[in-house]
Structures are given as structure tokens and as C-alpha cells.
Chains A and B, each alone.
Chain A
Amino acid sequence: MIPIDNFLVLSAILFSLGMYGVLARRNAVLILMSVELMLQAVVINFVAFAVYLNPETFTGIIFAIFVIVIAAAEVGLALAIILRLFRNRQISNVDEADLMKW
């Protein structure tokens, strides 16, 4: 059996890549993709712990499915916002969408 450390390292790498993307990218679509990467890192964690800690039940795996479903819904919502932003103001750079302030 592959040791759990390998999964955790993979998850940490994926999460860090996603976080870097969220912080460094300016394009809204790419930020969205980075957020997805972070979510997948979490899913890997869930599944790995589910198998290693409590193989008899499916709690962790079901949680992973929940996360995937919610991520899909979230992507739908976020893409709709990005689409409206682009339609109305012809921008996809989040730096330019800064009207929600004082």
C-alpha cells in the first residue's frame, strides 16, 4: 500500500499551486481554475484519509463527492458572473473590476 504521506505531499503541492494561481493571476477564468485546483487537493485529502483511517465506512468518500458537486455549482455561478462582467464592461482582468468598495 502506498504510504499516506505521498498523498498528503501531492495534495499539499496541488493546494500550493492553486493558491499561487489565485494570488498571482489576474485573469478571472484562470483564478477560477486555480480555485478548482485547491478544491481537488482537498478532495484528495478526504479520500486518502477515508481509506487509511476508516476503510469500513464511506463517509470521507461521500464528502469528496459533495465537494465535487458543490465545486461544479460554484463554477457555474462564477462563470456566469465572469460572463456578465465581460459582456457589460469588456474586461476579464480582476484588477479592473474594483467598484465594490467605499
Chain B
Amino acid sequence: MGMDQAWLIPAIPAAAFAILLIFGPYLPRKGDWLAIAAIGASFVLVFPMLADLLDQADGTTYVAGEKAWEWLSFELAGVGETFEIEIGFYVDPITIVMLAVVTLVALMVQVYSIAYMKGDLRYGWYFTAMSLFAASMLTLVLANNLLLLYAGWEAVGFCSFLLIGFWWEKRSAAEAAKKAFITTRIGDVGLLIGIIMLWHEGPNTFNIQEIIHFAEEGGYGNTYLTAAVLFLFMGALGKSGQFPLHVWLPDAMEGPTPVSALIHAATMVVAGVYLVARMLPLFEVADPIALDIVLIVGLTTVMISATMGLAATDIKRVIAYSTLNSLGLMFVALGSSAVAAAMLYLFVHGFFKALLFLGAGSVIHATEEQDMDRLGGLAAKMPITAATFAIGTLAMIGIVPLSGFWAKDEVLVFAEEEQNIIVYLVLLSSLVITGLYMMRLFVRTFLFAPRVQETYAHAHEGGLLITVPLLVLGLLATVGGFVVFDEVGEALGFPGGFAQFVFLHGAHEFKFHLDTAITSTALAGGGAVAGWVLWQDKAALAAHIRDAFAPVSALLANRYYIDEIYQFAIDRIVLVLGGIIAWVDRVVVNDTGVNGSANLGYFAGFEIKFLQTGRIPNYALAIVAGILVLSIVMLVTQV
């Protein structure tokens, strides 16, 4: 069992999906155990892959495992070239990290879902869709060529659509599913254009490594490559909910909470980060403007999402904004060429963000309420949820020694070293806001007096199926960051530590700047303390500030009116333009072109048929006249 068998990892959930789709309704318990067993098997299989990768490594230089099968092959007519599409899997350290996060979080989420989704009308379908999602996501991660990656990319988008709209009887859920699908589609078109551009001028292959190799040898023109990577980035932009395509992610919270934990926190939304990390050599070869755009987009997302998080009252939406915030940070890291920092953040973010979502799910499950203005004081009733949620909150804020701290600190160090001071200062200020809104979320939900007694009264801690995943993820969110230490990394089997393991270009070390760490911790901790003070008890102080800055709070509560601007643009531009095109289609193409020519034929036939009198003398006369005319023509032309 080694890297050549990597195809098994997505194949097992795919097989589970196929079985559940056909036989699901007839299986005991609607087949939830099959979905969980499949993802569990995939999780276990990650370890032989890792062991094989380490076995074949030469010191700290890793030999990536790659295995491909031909899927389609045909001669391009006239060109004399063979066009080939492969199904292939590629295992390298980045893949291993992604695989570990995806399979582990998916396993935890599916176990949790047994309790959370219990008694749901479409319980079996939920696990079927989850299996399809796992298979698609793992295909995306393992793909060795851009086309297979794109197929996985679209499939996870489709699963996201299915699961956001899982309760489609609710109009808002159906609308959110549609919005998520269409918004990410806009980015996906860019991704496809980028892939085609890379193939068109490239080495007649979709293989990622060959394309990177080709680009590094200067095979593409600089401007062309820059355009191509920016199109690729457009796909990442949509999938990872970066500004200006971030609008779908908060609405995606209409789906079941475990779905949010898996798809919209730990796995699918980081596909964009993964794509950029995977293709980063191309971004580095291209014009520096490409990485600058990645950086600016990440930074913008960090700021707008953090500030929007201050105003939201739905607990899931606040966590969704914190996800955007984290994704923005990852893109800032990528924009500074810090793959290891981005992947580390991705790694720990998967744990603490899934933890936060599952904690929120536990609250929603217990109270059937997700507006934090109607919650409060739940820590007394739900100690495990509260404790693990606190870990998640502090990890997100970035308090020593929780996992979020190490990852965030690494991003900050890179921003400080590689970028100008403004980027660094903006990131530091975002830490304060992160502290504020995360602490607000925790304080308003779990501490002080409950605001609605009725809801509070019947709140209770969930069973083991809910608390065990919370505890596992809580543990990982606590210790996950320690992989930055070389000793811990080596003990876990990564020679030279995690950074060395993940980083693509030779030796790399995690840098730890004490002054940066102190500054960031002071700011984040300060934000958290301020959040506590502002929103404690009856949140009188926060209300006072909100009233004092009414226009600003209205702006934040309305999400910078970005959704309204998009709605306006759709109503006034897209729909009007669509109306014009529809009119042209209806009147010019259909009525004139298609029906018009048919009517002309019908009308002409109706008029001409009266020439047929049915009387023989008429026909005889016509024949004679015809011959006479022909004879005259012949005479005239021959003379």
C-alpha cells in the first residue's frame, strides 16, 4: 500500500455514494454507517501514503508519487498532435496535509451529523450527498492534472449547492443555494479560461507539474502567463469567498450546521487556497502584479469580513465572517509567497473552524435558536460545548499557545518581512477586530444572564455523538499549532519539521519573531478583552457605542450594501440586457427568422397551388408553350 494506491482515497467515498444512491433507502439506518465507514477508511489510508512519501524521501527532498491512467486520446486533425486527457493522482506534502484535514474533519462532522440530523426527512440523502462531497473534494486534492482538478472543483460546488439547499422547502435556503452556486460559477468560468490558456500555449498537456516546469523555463510569455494565473485566481476567488465574490458564504449558512463546518469552513472554501498554493510557482514566474493582486484581495477580505462580523447577530453568520477573515489571511500569506504559512493556517483553521461550527450546531440543536440576541448564559447548561467553543474562539483570535496563534503569527512575520508597513499595520488592526467580534460571539452566547428564559430552560448538552467530535476537534485546535516546532514535526514523522515538509522550494524554517508575537498577542488579546467589556452582561456599553456611530453600524449591519449593489446591478443591468437579448431572440430570430421563413413557404405554397387546375388542356398548353419558349431561346442563343 503506497502512493500508487492513492486513487483509493477518493474511490471509497465515491463507491459509498453510488451504493447509497441506489440502495440507500433499503439499508438499515438509511446507510449512514456506510458513509462514515467509507470516510473513515479514507482517513486511515492517508497514513500509508504519508509513510510511503517519507520512505521514498531523500533527506528532506520529497519524491512526489504520481500515477496516471489514460482516459481519452485522439489525433488532432491537421495538427498531427495527440490530445490526451488523463486521470491521475499526485501525492506530495501539500496533498498529504489537505488529505489529512479533509478526511479527519469529514469523519468528525459525519459522526456528529448522526445526532444532528437525526429524524430529518432526508436523513439518508444527507449522507449520500456528504459521501459525494468527500469523493469530489479528495479528487480535487489528489488530481495531477488541471482538468481532473476542475472536475472535482465543479463537483464540490454542486455538492455545496445540494447541501446549502438541503432544506429547500425553506425559500431562503433555496435562494442561498442558488446564490452560492451562481456566484462561485462566475469564478469557475475564470478558472476554466485560465486552464485553457495554460494548455493552449503550453506543452500540450494538462499535467500540473509539467505546466509548472514549462513556465519556469520561460515557455509562456510574461503577459500571457500573468493573465492566465489571474484567471486561475478568479476561480479561487469565487470558491474561497474572497472579495468581491464573498457574498455567497454568509448566506450559505442556511444549510445544516455540520455542512457549514465541513464545506464552508474546513474543506471546500480552502480549495481556492489549495489551488493557488499548488500553482504558486506560476504566480512567482508571472509578473509581480499577480501576487500583489492576491495580497490585496486577501487584505480587503480580511478587513471587510472582520468589520461585518461585528454587526451580525446570527451566530453562524459571525463564524462565516470569521471564515472569510481566515481565508483572507491565507491569501495574504500566499501573496507573500509563504506557502508553508498558508498551508499551516489552512491545517489548523480546518480544526478550529469546524470546532466553532460544530459548537454553534450544538447550541442550535439544543435551543433551536441561532440569534445571539436571544441566547446567553448557556455555559451553565452546556459546559462541554462552551469549553470547546472557548478554545475555538481563542484559537481564532490567536492566543498563545492555541493553534491559531502559530499560524497567524507566521503570516504576520511574512507580511512584516516581505510586504510594506501598510500591509502589516492593516493586518494588526484586523486582529483587534477579530478579538472583538469573536469575544462578542462567545460572551453573548454562553455567558451572563439568558435573554430568553424559555429557550434557556430546555437547553441541554447533546449526547456523545455531539460531544466527542467537539472534544477531538478541541484537542486538535489546541495542539495543532505545535507542528511548527521542528522537534514536534520530526516526532510526528516530518523530517526537518512541518515547514520543511510543506515548503516546495527546498529548505525553509518557521520564523518566530518575539516582538511580532508580543505585538500581535497584545492587540488580539486587547481586542478580546475589549469585546468582553463591551458586550458583558446587558451589552449596554456596546449599545451606547452603536448608537453613537449609527451610520457606521448601519453600514456594517447591511454588509456595506454590497449585496444591494449586486442586486441593483442584476436588476438594472443584467436583467435589462437579458430583456433586450430575449426581445431580439423572440422578435428577430424566432418570429422573423424561423417562423417567418416557414410562413413565407406556407403562404407561397397556398398561392401557387391554384396554378394546378387539374384540366389536361391547361397542362398540354403549358407543355407546348414551354417547348416554344425553349426553342426560341435556343434559336436566339445559337445564332
Using CB atoms and an 8 Å cutoff, list the residues of chain A in contact with chain B.
19, 22-23, 26, 31, 94-95, 97-102
Q: Is chain B's binding surface mostly helix, strand, loop or mixed?
A: helix
What residue of chain B has the Cβ atom nearest to residue A31's Cβ? B616
Among B564-616, those with CB < 8 Å from A are 609-610, 612-616
Q: Residue B614 contacts which of A19, A23, A26, A99 (CB distance < 8 angstroms)?
A: A99
Closest CB in chain B relative to A91 CB, distance in Å:
12
Tally of A-B Cβ pairs under 8 angstroms:
26
What residue of chain A has the Cβ atom nearest to residue B616's Cβ? A94
For residue B621, CB closer than 8 A to chain A, the reply is: yes
In the assembled complex, the Cα of A99 lies from the Cα of B615 at a distance in Å of: 8
| Binary CB contact string for chain B from 605 to 639 against chain A (1 if under 8 A, 0 otherwise) | 00001101111110011001000000000000000
Q: Residue B620 contacts which of A22, A97, A100, A101 (CB distance < 8 angstroms)?
A: A22
Q: A102-B609, A102-B610 are in contact. Are A23 and B624 (CB under 8 A)?
A: yes
Q: A19-B624, A23-B621 are in contact. Are A101 and B616 (CB under 8 A)?
A: no
Chain B hits for A102, CB < 8 A: 609-610, 612
Using CB atoms and an 8 Å cutoff, list the residues of chain B in contact with chain A.
609-610, 612-617, 620-621, 624
Q: Are B612 and A101 interface neighbours, CB within 8 A?
A: yes
In the assembled complex, the Cα of A97 lies from the Cα of B620 at a distance in Å of: 14
In the assembled complex, the Cα of A94 lies from the Cα of B619 at a distance in Å of: 12
Chain B hits for A95, CB < 8 A: 615, 617
Q: A19-B624, A23-B621 are in contact. Are A98 and B615 (CB under 8 A)?
A: yes
Q: Are A98 and B624 interface neighbours, CB within 8 A?
A: no
Q: Are B617 and A23 interface neighbours, CB within 8 A?
A: yes
What residue of chain A has the Cβ atom nearest to residue B615's Cβ? A98
In the assembled complex, the Cα of A100 lies from the Cα of B614 at a distance in Å of: 5
Chain A hits for B609, CB < 8 A: 102
What residue of chain B has the Cβ atom nearest to residue A97's Cβ? B616
Q: Residue A98 contacts which of B610, B613, B620, B621 (CB distance < 8 angstroms)?
A: B613
What residue of chain B has the Cβ atom nearest to residue A100's Cβ? B614
Closest CB in chain A relative to B150 CB, distance in Å:
59
A-B contact pairs, 10 of them (CB 8 A): A23-B620, A23-B621, A26-B617, A31-B616, A94-B616, A95-B615, A97-B616, A98-B614, A98-B615, A101-B612
Chain B hits for A26, CB < 8 A: 617
In the assembled complex, the Cα of A97 lies from the Cα of B624 at a distance in Å of: 21
In the assembled complex, the Cα of A97 lies from the Cα of B615 at a distance in Å of: 7
Chain A hits for B610, CB < 8 A: 102
What residue of chain B has the Cβ atom nearest to residue A98's Cβ? B614
Closest CB in chain A relative to B97 CB, distance in Å:
80
In the assembled complex, the Cα of A8 lies from the Cα of B479 at a distance in Å of: 119
What residue of chain B has the Cβ atom nearest to residue A22's Cβ? B620
Chain A hits for B613, CB < 8 A: 98, 101
Q: Residue A94 contacts which of B612, B615, B621, B624 (CB distance < 8 angstroms)?
A: B615
Closest CB in chain B relative to A95 CB, distance in Å:
6
Closest CB in chain B relative to A59 CB, distance in Å:
25
In the assembled complex, the Cα of A99 lies from the Cα of B612 at a distance in Å of: 10
Q: Residue A101 contacts which of B614, B617, B621, B624 (CB distance < 8 angstroms)?
A: B614
What residue of chain A has the Cβ atom nearest to residue B621's Cβ? A23
Closest CB in chain A relative to B537 CB, distance in Å:
94
What residue of chain B has the Cβ atom nearest to residue A28's Cβ? B616
Chain A hits for B624, CB < 8 A: 19, 23
Closest CB in chain A relative to B109 CB, distance in Å:
74
The 3 closest A-B pairs by CB, nearest first: A101-B614, A98-B614, A102-B609
Closest CB in chain B relative to A49 CB, distance in Å:
19
In the assembled complex, the Cα of A100 lies from the Cα of B612 at a distance in Å of: 8
Closest CB in chain A relative to B414 CB, distance in Å:
86
Additional A-B contact list (4), CB under 8 Å, known A19-B624, A97-B616, A101-B613: A23-B617, A94-B615, A94-B616, A95-B615
In the assembled complex, the Cα of A21 lies from the Cα of B360 at a distance in Å of: 105
Chain B hits for A94, CB < 8 A: 615-617
In the assembled complex, the Cα of A95 lies from the Cα of B614 at a distance in Å of: 9
What residue of chain A has the Cβ atom nearest to residue B618's Cβ? A98
Closest CB in chain B relative to A31 CB, distance in Å:
7
